[in-house]
Structure 1
Amino acid sequence: MPILTVALLQLERAGHDLDANRAAGEAACRRAKALGADIALFPEMWSNGYTSAVPFGDASANVYRHPDLWAGAAPVGVPDHRAVWRGEPVAADSPFVAHFASLAAELDMAIALTYLEEWEGAPRNSVSLIDRHGRLVLTHAKVHTCAFAVPEAALTPGTSFGTCTLDTAAGDVRVGAMICYDREFPESARALMLAGAELVLTPNACDLERNRIDQFKARAYENMLAVAMANYAGPGWGHSVAFDGMAFGPEGARDMLVVEAGEAAGVFPAVFDLAALRDYRRRETWGDAFRRPRAYGALTEPAVGEPFVRVSHRGRPPLR
């Protein structure tokens, strides 16, 4: 029976010391391997611990607002990324990534490594999936950056959702990725399902309250996907979670929950039965079989109507 284990690395929020993060990340990966993991999944932007010089979440710092909400409000601009993000961006071919590639080969375990990626212009928020042979087989840059507010307005967004075939001890698995805010758009998981994904890895860095967790569960349900999310530990954070995508069994409706962590730091294995998932996908009605794409034209229209219009203080809309 092909059983696949994804270790959710729910780690303490790190600082932006690259060497310290490399060491702590290696220790977490070794713990994951000891627990039988096939894949170790980091929380979002591990290379610098998602640390910023600009507080996140203050609505007064929103870069884009409804036009009516700029009345009497102070202009908000986007600083240069070097004034926003702590820690230097690292390239996909950097010693930092190469270290984890060597570790993946040593441990015979895939690693989904996250980092502030060096890029032409502003950096990207990226995850690279390294297979158990130490080969980089997929890099996903966050498409839905939180461009409404600094600090993520100072990032280059990704442009697509791709998948790869990952060689594991359980056999080949088709894997995709989305990062944090990506999962709040149904199109992200839907695009990955259409690209053949069976498993979606999701690095995260925010509070995971019930609504977001239920939303993530819905992504698994509607696409018949296994999904795994790793978040940072800490009060109000944590709750790294995985769902197996199988909403119904012989006895009727089932929960789909594989594992949900609390708020404490730890490594949490999520065990997926790939044979059962594949059988479920062959016989059930969600996913792709009964979609009606000709009815969905509005999904690819770039125009934005009320009440969703957002502009900068200069009246410029966000890029789409």
Structure 2
Amino acid sequence: MTITPMAAAAASFGRDLDQNLAQIESLAERARHQGVRLLALPEATLGGYLSTLHTDGPGADSLPPIIDLDGPELAKVAEIAGDMTIVLGFCEADAGTRYNSAAAVTGDGVIGVHRKVHQPLGENLYYEAGETFRTFETPVGRLGMLICYDKAFPEAARELALDGAEIVACISAWPSSRTAGAADIAEDRWTKRFNLFDQARALENQIVWVAANQVGTFGSMRFVAHAKVVGPGGDVLATTGADAGLAVAAVDVGDALATARRAMFHLRDRRPDTYGAEVAVHA
């Protein structure tokens, strides 16, 4: 039996990189005191998210700073991580092209990167879209990463599951509804969607799902928090609710997956020959 404590953070990150790194260190220290081995931080942890996604008014008043994969910021995150695996978001550039990216970092450095594939509203005005979904080995098991709107597409999480993901870290800057929003963030319709997607993606792929999110406000954005850890049966093991903080759950990943897949194994029981060329991947 191998129990892996893991945590998802609901936290607020803006443009100040020194402040971002200090907050990462504080959250990592809190997590380490609880034995956490995998810590998921929000989308745009380093440098903050866009100040708006509106396409019918003024655009973003500033853009997140570019973070180099081999630069001092991620080197500092590696120093903070030590024997922990930390997943966090940042703005990556490749030959002058910006990507909304996530990195998995250990004391050895960056061990995996995901570029956000699915872009909501006007995000394509500021970032190019990624093109791949890949998993990789980490000290806590085989891990896949998604960013925010990626989780609204079943194919994205399914691709990671078919590539052997045991755990998916989905990091977000998921906002409340711009229209018909609720005063109580827990009752907001986009909060409800955020939570439904987390549980559905975990259940349909029978994987452990670790969902981090921004909290509070930034520019015109109000984020819904609700960081959580979801088991492979779709059960929420821990959540921050609408508050900032850490959702921490200790999971025996191998046993949890085996138990969920004992009677009904959704990946094995697929019928790709019936789905048509558009979705019949990994036949």
Instruction: Return the alpha-carbon distance in structure 1 between the equivalents of residues 24 and 108 of structure 2.
Output: 16
**Larger % of strand: which?**
2
Alpha-carbon contact 2:173-2:214 (below 8 Å) kept:
yes
Alpha-carbon contact 1:84-1:154 (below 8 Å) kept:
no
1:287 deviates by: 2.8
1:239–1:88: structure 2 CA closer, same or farther, 3 Å change rule?
same
Gapped runs of 5+ residues in structure 2? 176-189, 217-221
Decide which of 145, 149, 161 is 2:119's aligned counterpart: 145
Taking the TM superposition and a 5 Å limit, the aligned residue runs for 1:219-234 are 219-234=201-216
1:298 deviates by: 4.5
2:215 alignment partner, SS class? coil
Alpha-carbon contact 2:227-2:246 (below 8 Å) kept:
no
The aligned counterpart of 1:64 is none
Q: Deviations over 1:149-187 (max 9, x none)?
A: 1x443202111111011124xxxx111011100000000
2:174 alignment partner, SS class? coil
Instruction: Return the alpha-carbon distance in structure 1 between the equivalents of residues 160 and 254 of structure 2.
Output: 20
Taking the TM superposition and a 5 Å limit, the aligned residue runs for 1:263-274 are 263-274=242-253
Taking the TM superposition and a 5 Å limit, the aligned residue runs for 1:1-320 are 1-12=1-12, 14-52=13-51, 55-56=52-53, 58=54, 60=56, 85-105=62-82, 108-131=83-106, 133-146=107-120, 148-149=121-122, 151-168=123-140, 173-207=141-175, 209-234=191-216, 237-246=224-233, 256-280=235-259, 282-299=261-278
Q: Deviations over 1:18-60 (max 9, x none)?
A: 11111111111111111211011110011112143xx22x463
Alpha-carbon contact 1:91-1:119 (below 8 Å) kept:
no
1:264 deviates by: 2.0
1:190 alignment partner, SS class? helix
Instruction: Return the alpha-carbon distance in structure 1 between the equivalents of residues 257 and 164 of structure 2.
Output: 12
Q: Residue 97 of structure 2 aligns to which amino acid in structure 1?
A: A
1:25 alignment partner, SS class? helix
1:145 deviates by: 2.0
1:300–1:262: structure 2 CA closer, same or farther, 3 Å change rule?
closer
* Amino-acid identity (%): 30
The aligned counterpart of 1:306 is none
Gapped runs of 5+ residues in structure 1? 62-75, 248-255, 302-320
Instruction: Return the alpha-carbon distance in structure 2 between the equivalents of residues 162 and 85 of structure 1.
Output: 31
Instruction: Return the alpha-carbon distance in structure 2 between the equivalents of residues 175 and 283 of structure 1.
Output: 21
1:89–1:200: structure 2 CA closer, same or farther, 3 Å change rule?
same
Instruction: Return the alpha-carbon distance in structure 2 between the equivalents of residues 94 and 134 of structure 1.
Output: 14
Greater Rg, structure 1 or structure 2?
A: 1
Instruction: Return the alpha-carbon distance in structure 2 between the equivalents of residues 166 and 284 of structure 1.
Output: 28
Normalising by structure 1, report the TM-score: 0.75
The RMSD of aligned alpha carbons is 2.2
1:192 deviates by: 0.4
Instruction: Return the alpha-carbon distance in structure 1 between the equivalents of residues 15 and 72 of structure 2.
Output: 16
Aligned length: 261
2:170 alignment partner, SS class? strand
Alpha-carbon contact 1:122-1:154 (below 8 Å) kept:
no
Normalising by structure 2, report the TM-score: 0.84
Alpha-carbon contact 1:164-1:174 (below 8 Å) kept:
yes
Q: Residue 271 of structure 1 aligns to which amino acid in structure 2?
A: A
Instruction: Return the alpha-carbon distance in structure 2 between the equivalents of residues 270 and 51 of structure 1.
Output: 30
Alpha-carbon contact 2:135-2:160 (below 8 Å) kept:
yes
4+ aligned runs moved over 3 Å, structure 1: 58-61
Instruction: Return the alpha-carbon distance in structure 2 between the equivalents of residues 243 and 178 of structure 1.
Output: 15
Instruction: Return the alpha-carbon distance in structure 2 between the equivalents of residues 125 and 236 of structure 1.
Output: 17
Q: Residue 79 of structure 2 aligns to which amino acid in structure 1?
A: S
1:84 deviates by: 6.1
1:236–1:165: structure 2 CA closer, same or farther, 3 Å change rule?
closer
1:287–1:300: structure 2 CA closer, same or farther, 3 Å change rule?
closer
